[in-house]
Amino acid sequence: MAEILDGLKVSKEIKQEIKAEVEKIVAGKRRAPHLVAILVGNNGASKAYVNSKVKDCEEVGFQSSLIKFPSTVSESELLEKIDELNKSKAVDGFIVQLPLPKQIDQEKIINAIDPRKDVDGFHPENFGRMALEMDTFLPATPFGILTLLERYNIETKGKDCVIIGRSKIVGRPMSILMGRKDFPGNSTVTLTHSYTKDIEEYTKKADIVITALGDPHFLKGEMIKDGAVIVDVGITRVDDDSPKGYHLAGDVDFDSCAAKASWITPVPGGVGPMTRAMLMKNTIIAYKTSVYND
């Protein structure tokens, strides 16, 4: 049976480390780091995720602000608020919770964020710096996966790594980061997607499989080799007859894969908590490198 890559445990450790750092900052008579979240509309999943980020800020001692807009907000109104946050000396980092309503150009919004305050790591400048192996904000989920592999000392050098899914937020940056000259990294990376024929041919040879599809139980035990490391980014609500009416499922068929893998992330409790912790990590990095933080 595979050992568990416990994202909940590691994320708590990281948040404790950040909290200790913030306590020192505040003891030195400096203000605490400040993270702002912009929420547009009433999407249930977005609201829950933003509320969890506010709670994380409280846990580590950050100042946090939540700015809400109705789903009818205009693109110009949203851009005006982003410009205000870009210029504010009291704000170290901010995020605009995605997805956005149809009347708003998501790319235009991301591009409007000051890269120095882009703690989600989505701005093209930060993506480019990441691709060139320069210091920058890494997207929170890939950053969380790297940190989890690092904390458990999972060997990645020279390993065959298969990424399933090529999103800008997870799959594509993950493929770049696993191939970088660093630890974790130095892997031979294959990026697979919906047009890849016979994905199983790739996953069966992989030492590490990272899946970010949003397709419950897609990866089965017969699709991996003995001793593989399995990282499950997917999380989907699946209706059932429980009192809640649903359960959360990952992309990985946990039982069959855990019987063959050496390490595996659970869902929930694997990558999700790490994503949230790394947003806190990016925020304190922004605070310490801010041109406004004199």
Indicate which residue of 114, 120, 251, 253 is catalytic. Answer: 120
Indicate which residue of 6, 15, 53, 117 is catalytic. Answer: 53
Concerning whether 103 is annotated as a catalytic residue, the answer is no
Indicate which residue of 97, 118, 232, 260 is catalytic. Answer: 97
113 marked as part of a ligand binding site: no
Q: What are residue 4's phi and psi, to 5 degrees?
A: -90, 130
169 marked as part of a ligand binding site: no
**Other beta carbons within 10 Å of 3:** 12
The runs of H, that is alpha helices, within 66-203 are 75-87, 106-112, 124-131, 140-151, 171-178, 199-203
250 marked as part of a ligand binding site: no
Tokens of 180: 């970088």
**Region class of 71: left (phi > 0), else alpha (psi between -120 and 50), else beta:** alpha
- Per DSSP, what are the bridge partners of residue 18? none
What does the DSSP 8-state code read for residue 31? P
CA pair distance 200, 50, nearest whole angstrom: 36
227 marked as part of a ligand binding site: no
- Per DSSP, what are the bridge partners of residue 189? 161
Concerning whether 63 is annotated as a catalytic residue, the answer is no
**Other beta carbons within 10 Å of 282:** 26
Concerning whether 102 is annotated as a catalytic residue, the answer is no
- Residue list for the binding site: 165-167, 235
Supply the residues annotated as catalytic: 53, 97, 120
- Residue list for the binding site for NADP(+): 165-167, 235
